[in-house]
Chain A
Amino acid sequence: MPAGMVIVGAGECGVRAAVALRENGFDGPVTLIGEEAHLPYERPPLSKQAMTAPDMPLARTILDAEGFARLGVDFVGRNPAARLDRAGRAVHLGDGRIVPFERLLIATGSVPRRLALAGSGPRIAYLRTFDDALAIRARLRGNCRVAIIGGGFIGLELAASARSLGAGVSVIEAQPRILMRGVPAEIAAVVHDLHRGKGVEIACGEQIASIEDETHHILIRLAGGHAVEADLAVIGIGAIPVTSLAESAGLAVDNGIAVDDRLRTSDPNIFAAGDCCSFPLSVYGGRRVRLEAWRNAQEQGALAARNMLGADESHAAVPWFWSDQHEMTLYIAGLADEGRSVVRRDLGGGAFILFGLAADGRLVAASGIGQGDTVARDIRLAEMLIARQARPDPSALACAGTKLRQMLAA
């Protein structure tokens, strides 16, 4: 078999890369290797619709068997890449099969950070895969009590979903506030109030002393002296990149598989993209970051594919993220911590946007929250302004009557 393009990891990023290889005219062999038992599926619904849908949900497939056939992509499922042989330019799969490659993309994603003291009893859950979601869903009942450890995006989305089903929900966060990472305090406060108003209990600044399995429930003892009793504890304390394949093959790793602005690893024939990699973000002068965001996974997959084919294109996208909680949606463009000053724009009905400006007046971030998609369009336009390194007039940003679109045209 002639060596072609091989992708390890059949998530959002890997599938997007496979599609992009074909869209960019590559007609040699493309192999996509996945370890899960399902066709590649979208993860964002797992904490949202997959929990709340009245009927048993189906995984929302990114590309089905017919799609793979149409594209001529060889999708190998349930078969993890076990070893990477760089000298022999081949990937060894779990079942012993050896897949040679000309260029390789590693898109192995991330997995939930484990909480060691929680152990692994039947009442302890993590959420990353469709199977995880089904297991949690099966335990969520109107009268059940769910403890969510970690007030990040996944924990809070799950809190909203569980609450909407009538479950009693307590969120326990070690930091002084929820959404400490990446969300401005003013917006986190709105999210906090939103959850409180829905009856979700949130305790911040609380360390966990122990988690005891009491057969009929679990008891979470907090260092501050309180205890939370629950039927199920879901742990959402962040994700760690899956780097083992790369690391054991001697590729550079730095908070994720380290790639350059072309998404190339320390081996020029091997690329990495999506949740598993750290890369220099050009809009912020090459600051090295690792993102856990859906659109980033898609964009990097497509960019890696073009560069595998020799495009030599630099990563230029601005991070973009959304999160649905109760009837509100939060949208963020750029990284909020890049801002030195903040301008607020109110859009009515409680919706608002915080624009972050750098010391030199450049727009570097925009975070907004509102009912449904109220802030979506402005955040998207702000993203384009950030990409252009625009220096918009702060008073115009503050005024909802001034259209961002006009600033973009200027």
Chain B
Amino acid sequence: MTDWIEACGAEDIDEEDVIRFDHAGRTFAIYRSPGNEYFATDGLCTHEKVHLAGGLVMDDIIECPKHNGRFNYKTGAARGAPVCVDLRTYPVKVEDGKVFLQVG
């Protein structure tokens, strides 16, 4: 079992938005869905290693800012050219208004 890491406050992320979270030399993207749930994936696009947190969240899609490749951030699945490699996802929980990540 790996530890839960405190990443940010639940209100630090707007609804239908994403922020970047760096931890122990790695970078993650944490999402808040329109349905007010929280998700986390690897922080970098699988196409050119661009930070996904600069992109746009639309429903359950994160669109990469660089060339508009798309992923489902809930499952990590690549959803459109030019991305073809899926993102890794990580468990998230919210407790006492704080978002925790299990980065494994």
Contact A376 B55 (CB under 8 A): yes
B67 is an interface residue with CB less than 8 A from chain A: yes
Q: Give min CB distance, A79 to chain B, whole Å.
A: 25
Contact partner of A380 (CB less than 8 A), chosen from B50, B65, B81, B82, is B65
How many residues of A are counted as interface, with CB atoms below 8 angstroms from the partner's CB atoms?
Answer: 16
Query: Smallest Cβ distance from A303 to chain B, in angstroms?
Result: 13
Closest B residue to A320 by beta carbon equals B68
A16 at the interface (CB under 8 A from B): yes
Closest A residue, CB atoms, query B50: A373
Q: How far is the CA of A386 from the CA of B53 in the complex (A)?
A: 23
Contact status A294-B65, CB under 8 Å: no
Q: Could you say which residues of chain B place their CB within 8 Å of the CB of A380? A: 56, 63, 65, 68
- Inter-chain contacts of B50 with A (CB < 8 A): 373
CB of A62 within 8 A of CB of B82, answer yes
For the complex, is B51 an interface residue (Cβ under 8 Å from A)?
yes
Chain A residue nearest to B80 in the complex (CB): A298
Would you call A141 an interface residue if the criterion is a C-beta within 8 Å of the partner chain's C-beta atoms? Answer: no
The digit string for A293-304, where 1 denotes a CB below 8 A from any CB of B, is: 011001000000
A153 at the interface (CB under 8 A from B): no
Given A377-B54, A377-B55, A377-B56, A322 and B66 contact (CB-CB distance below 8 Å): yes
Tell me if A42 and B82 are in contact (CB < 8 A). Answer: yes
Instruction: Write the nearest CB–CB distance from A218 to chain B, whole angstroms.
Output: 34
Interface residues of B, dominant DSSP: loop
A322 and B65 alpha carbons, distance in the complex (Å)? 10
Chain A residue with Cβ nearest B51: A373
How many residues does chain B have at the interface if contact means C-beta atoms less than 8 Å apart?
Answer: 12
Measured CB to CB, the nearest residue on chain B to A294 is B67
B70 to chain A, nearest CB (A): 12
Q: Specify the chain B residue showing the minimal Cβ separation from A299.
A: B81
Chain B residues near A372 (CB, 8 Å)? 54
**Contact code string B21-65 (vs A, CB < 8 Å = 1, else 0):** 000000000000000000000000000001100111000000101
From 93 to 141 in chain A, residues with beta carbon under 8 angstroms from any chain B beta carbon are none
Q: How far is B70's CA from A380's CA once the two chains are assembled, in angstroms?
A: 13
- Given the complex of chains A and B, what is the CA–CA distance between A376 and B55 in angstroms? 8
Is A358 in contact with chain B by the CB < 8 A criterion? no
Interface residue A381 (Cβ < 8 Å from any Cβ of B): yes
A143 to B67 alpha-carbon distance, docked (Å): 33
Hey, which chain A residues are within 8 Å of B82, CB to CB?
42, 62, 298
Q: In the complex the two chains form, is A16's CB within 8 Å of B81's CB? A: yes
Contacts of A377 in B (CB 8 A): 54-56, 65
Are A295 and B56 in contact, with the CB atoms below 8 A? no
B64 to chain A, nearest CB (A): 9
The smallest C-beta distance from B43 to any residue of chain A, in angstroms, reads 13
Residue ranges of A at the interface with B (Cβ–Cβ < 8 Å):
16, 19, 42, 62, 294-295, 298, 320, 322, 372-374, 376-377, 380-381
B residues bordering A, Cβ < 8 Å?
50-51, 54-56, 63, 65-68, 81-82
Q: What are 23 A-B contacts defined by CB distance under 8 Å? A: A16-B81, A19-B81, A42-B82, A62-B81, A294-B67, A295-B67, A295-B68, A298-B81, A298-B82, A320-B68, A322-B67, A373-B54, A373-B65, A373-B66, A374-B54, A376-B54, A376-B55, A376-B66, A377-B54, A377-B55, A380-B63, A380-B65, A381-B56
